[in-house]
Amino acid sequence: MDFARSLALVAPETLLSVSGLILLLVAAWAGDKASRAISIAAVAVLTVCAIIAAPALWGAAMGPQTEAFGGQFRADAFAAYGKLLIYASAGVTLMVAPAFFDRVKAMRAEFPLLIIFASIGMGMMVSAADLLTLYIGLELTSLASYVLASFLRVDERSAEAGLKYFVLGSLASGILLFGMSLLYGFTGTTSFAGIHDAMTGEMATGALFGVIFVLAGLAFKISAAPFHMWTPDVYEGAPTPVTTFFSTAPKVAALGLMMRVTLEAFGNQVFAWQQVVIFASLLSIVIGALGAIGQNNIKRLMAYSSINNVGFILIGLATATQAGASAMLVYLAIYVAMSVAGFVVILLLRDENGDAVEAISDFGGLSKTRPWLALSLAMVMFSLAGIPPLFGFWGKFVVFQAAVQADLIVLAAIGIAASVIGAFYYLKVVKVMYFDEAVDKVKGAGELSHTVILVLALLVNSPLGYLLTKCLDTLAGNAAAALFFAY
């Protein structure tokens, strides 16, 4: 084993680990007054890690030369694609968080450190080529996430969100671990490549149960129905910057991990897991759409929107084709931009005392009192609904196109029909802002960092985003090709 080459392949994780430990010492010595400086340093480290990971994506890295530590870790183009989205999402979280926590006097030096350590785990998730690597990365991410959800100690909702996330997350981890033990017992290996080779011909019943348990555990992590029950409560209760983080980076990592497991480890048994994915996809689309209709809290609505969008993304996975995987990755990148824009707008919705305004009924007449804020939220809602010419339409289009090419026409038709239901609750928010009587409750001024991030995210979601389609399709194609290279 060439340890020098392996260490070079895990350079982003190594840099994050060393930086995290150094900044942890700084936090211990300097205290919370250094939290903003630590956040800036963390953003710089994430930027460097993204620069290190990018060449593998542009160069379409794949094959044995991307494997580290005996095949347990894979630094290919697919991993690089996921890491770029993860690091960007984590960086945005660190940029919007200080102003939010300073306002409630709750900013602590540990916050950027938790984001860094969660990013290490998420990087391991998208690079996992072994069940052991998978579990270590998943648990490292989860442990940091539980603390982040309950970070706002003065808010009972935050403590409740952290507790619920911890209890249900532990259950999901147990289910996943049980499925992994079954797979190891019936295949004799923890390697994805070994499991792939062992699952040829007729699959043993025990191995099938292992596949189902693993998929159930991962479905919880991506908040796919019927394992979505934690999402609305955690999204509502967690501090808004943390919710921004949860809706982007961990979602990318968990979906990337699910793609790795299904298309690499279970690639010889597509029929065994395809039906499970189709069921989860349709249920997520329907529950996400119907569950959001009665919501009056904007963060809970975004939680159901997340469940709904995961359903659409899983349509690409259900195709079990390279085109479907590429479509998933395109949709995922667009979804990250939409989520960032949506939650930054939510951060800007504050009353004259600086308190968050989250009730949708309080947005009445926002177009008259804060026209630019109303326009921004309207663009996010229309993009999430997949209404052209906004860029959110392109994500749905490529996924449905991949489904039709894979002869999953019924699945595509149901998805298109269900997206009409989803459009209802998005349009409800727009209706309140533009046609209801003015409530004039939103009065708070926004920070420059929030405004800059919002403008950039909205530019991606606008029709100008279509200028990125060629580049995005190429990069997503490189990443998808790496998944199918050995199989």
User: DSSP string spanning 236-291?
Assistant: HHS-HHHHHHHTTHHHHHHHHHHHIIIIIITTT-HHHHHHHHHHHHHHHHHHHHHH
Spell out a b/e string for 146-172, using b for 16 or more CB atoms within 10 Å of the CB, else e. Answer: bbbbbbbeebeebbbbbbbbbebbeeb
Q: Which single residue is written with the structure tokens 């930086």?
A: 19
Q: Tell me, rounded to whole angstroms, the distance of Cα 229 from its chain centroid.
A: 17
Q: What is the pLDDT of residues 5-33, one digit of tens each?
A: 889 899 999 999 999 999 999 999 998 88
Q: Give the Cα separation of 223 and 311 in Å (integer).
A: 10
Which has the higher per-residue pLDDT, 350 or 314?
A: 314
Phi-psi region of 454 (alpha: psi -120 to 50; beta: other; left: phi over 0): alpha
pLDDT at 432: 92
Q: What is the pLDDT of residues 292-334, one digit of tens each?
A: 888 899 999 999 999 999 999 999 999 999 999 999 999 999 9
pLDDT at site 487: 56
Single out the residue of 435, 352, 429 nearest to residue 385, CA to CA. 429
What per-residue confidence (pLDDT) applies to 75?
92
Are 187 and 207 a contacting pair, CB within 8 Å? yes
Other beta carbons within 10 Å of 487: 13
CB 348 within 8 A of CB 452: no
Give Cα separations from 473 to 81, 323, 341 (angstroms).
12, 10, 22
- 422 CB contacts (<8 Å, ≥6 apart)? 285, 288, 289, 292, 305, 308, 385
Alpha helices in 77-223 (DSSP H): 77-103, 110-127, 131-149, 156-187, 192-198, 205-221
Average of per-residue pLDDT across 181-198: 93
| CA distance to 226, 277, 483, per residue, from 315 (Å) | 16, 8, 17
More confident residue, 355 or 416: 416
Backbone angles phi, psi at 213, to 5 degrees: -65, -40
Does residue 419 have a pLDDT over 90? no
3-state helix, strand, coil in the chain (%, to 5): 80, 0, 20
Measured over the CA atoms of residue 216, residue 220, residue 221 and residue 222, the dihedral's sign is: positive
Q: Is the pLDDT of residue 173 over 60?
A: yes
Q: Would the pLDDT of 486 be above 70? A: no
Q: How far apart are CA 382 and CA 360, in angstroms?
A: 16
Q: What are phi and psi of 308, to 5 degrees?
A: -60, -45
Residue 399 has pLDDT above 60, yes or no: yes
Under the banding of pLDDT at 50, 70 and 90, the label for residue 260 is very high
Token couple for 301: 């609505």
pLDDT digits over 132-152, tens only? 999 999 999 999 999 999 998
Name the least confident of 28-32, 240-244, 350-354, 359-363: 350-354
Q: Which tokens belong to 187?
A: 């295949």
Q: What is the pLDDT of residue 12?
A: 95
Question: Which DSSP letter does residue 14 get?
Answer: H
pTM for this model (two decimals): 0.95
- Single out the residue of 320, 140, 333 nearest to residue 251, CA to CA: 333
> What average pLDDT does the structure give for the chain?
91
pLDDT tops 70 at residue 444: no
> For 271-280, what is the mean pLDDT?
92
| Helix pair angle (469-484, 77-103), 10° resolution | 120
Closest by Cα among 395, 384, 411 to 320: 411
- For residue 365, the model assigns a pLDDT of 87
161 vs 151: CA distance, rounded Å: 10
Instruction: Using a pLDDT cut of 90, give the percent of the chain over it.
Output: 72
Q: What are phi and psi of 359, to 5 degrees?
A: -75, 125
Residues in the chain: 487
Cα 121 to Cα 137: distance, rounded to the nearest angstrom = 4
Average pLDDT of the segment spanning 188-205: 89
Contact 152, 158 (CB under 8 A): yes
Does residue 400 carry a pLDDT above 70?
yes
Q: Would you say residue 367 has pLDDT above 60?
A: yes
The gap between the terminal CA atoms of the chain, to the nearest Å, is: 23
pLDDT of residue 80: 96
